[in-house]
Amino acid sequence: MTSTAAELLEVLWGRASTAPASASQLRVLLILEHHEGINLRTLADSLASTPPSTSRLCDRLQASGLVERVVSANDRREVHLYLSKRGRTFLDDLRKRRERELRAVLDLMPAAKREALLEGLEAFRSAAATRIHHEAGTDADTRSA
């Protein structure tokens, strides 16, 4: 049942996407949104990818005008990555389209079921955040050991 719900959510989100970005590119945009100015190696680690693959991914996003690269003032070999204004607008528009798709489905649900779903999703969000932060701490601990 959980798998079916997740698949239906993917279908709804897919409907909302008029994205010029692939799933991998979307992940990059979301990471950059929350970690402005990270370098390529850190981004590659976040994606569990290699720096060359991540660099090619960023090349495509930069060519699309969604990402900007800025050479570090301290070390010309280091490049910092930022969402461009167009990248921010893209994410804002994507979220609005996704919300419209979800709202259309939620409006078909009885009010009590919507409230139960909201309560369950809040618990899910909290548990997922705890797990992600725990794993990030564990990964950092492993790297520093």
Per-residue pLDDT reduced to its tens digit, 21-64: 688 888 999 999 999 999 999 999 999 999 999 999 999 999 99
Q: Long-range contacts made by residues 36-44, C-beta under 8 angstroms, separation at least 24?
A: 36/82, 36/83, 37/70, 37/80, 37/81, 37/82, 38/80, 38/81, 39/72, 39/78, 39/79, 39/80, 39/81, 40/79, 40/81, 43/81
Per-residue pLDDT reduced to its tens digit, 68-122: 999 888 888 888 999 999 999 999 999 998 899 889 999 999 999 999 998 998 9
Three-class HEC string of 12-28:
HHHHHCCCCCCHHHHHH
Note whether 24 and 48 are same-domain residues.
yes
Note whether 17 and 73 are same-domain residues.
yes
Note whether 28 and 79 are same-domain residues.
yes
Domain hosting 78: range is: 2-108
Q: How many domains does the chain have?
A: 2
Note whether 103 and 119 are same-domain residues.
no
For residue 119, the model assigns a pLDDT of 93
